[in-house]
Amino acid sequence: PFTPGHHLLRVAVKGRAIPDAKLPPRNLVFLLDVSGSMASSDKLDLLKSAMHRLTDTLRPHDRVAIVVYAGSAAVALDPTSGARKARIHAHIDALRAGGSTNGSGGIELAYQLAAQNFDADKINRIILGTDGDFNVGPQSDAEMVKLIERKRDTGVYLSVLGVGTGNLKDSKMEQIADHGNGNYAYLDGLEEAHRVLVTESEETTVTVAKDVKVQIEFDPRRVRSYRQI
């Protein structure tokens, strides 16, 4: 694409902005991978720092719960008011990595918890943090997508934060976010985590449009050929 004579075209779509003062209350579930593959500073440690940053933005009428999964899934923190930041921070600090990766079990439990506190007037969202290495439960991309599609109809949406390198399953995580009516972001450091979860938090948690499609047609008299990058 960078050959002289070629042209690059970038297409971006921007949704309507929502001021912080008008941001609806948030009903969030942090779904965090604490399996053995997450035991490095660029994975679980980075996710914990990211969750700390997001916790600092919570308001008293926001609620957050934490679900963790390794060989099995468990509730690490019951739904808690954003006014109790010290309690939320303490539970994030206590997270440790180890074991296999039952991602589907964690997703199921997170949706159950989100459904218990569902409010149509709130933002109801699960934020999954993982390297995408699911090795227990449904393993194929198709099976995981079907699971997410069944759950999204409840009105609870799913966003995904990818971390780490090596066994990173980028395509699988993006598929999960797409079919969960959420968005996917890769965190390569704390600066990016702050941008995604704090500076642009409304883009991570607020849905302004669903099932958006963009089609671009080139005039064959002006464009000999093209390909998507």
Report which residue type is found at 175. Answer: Q
A 10 A CB-CB count for 85 gives: 17
Alpha-carbon distances of 175 from 13, 125, 179, 180, 227, rounded to whole Å: 19, 17, 6, 8, 22
Amino acid identity for residue 13 in this structure = V
Q: Which of 75, 78, 79, 68 has its CA nearest to residue 103?
A: 68
Give tens-digit pLDDT for 68-112.
988 788 999 999 999 999 999 999 999 998 877 777 788 889 999
Give the whole-angstrom CA distance, residue 79 versus residue 66: 8
> What residues in the chain have per-residue pLDDT under 70?
133-141, 166-170, 202-204
pLDDT in tens, 21-33: 778 899 999 999 9
pLDDT at 46: 93
The owner of tokens 């035991």 is 39
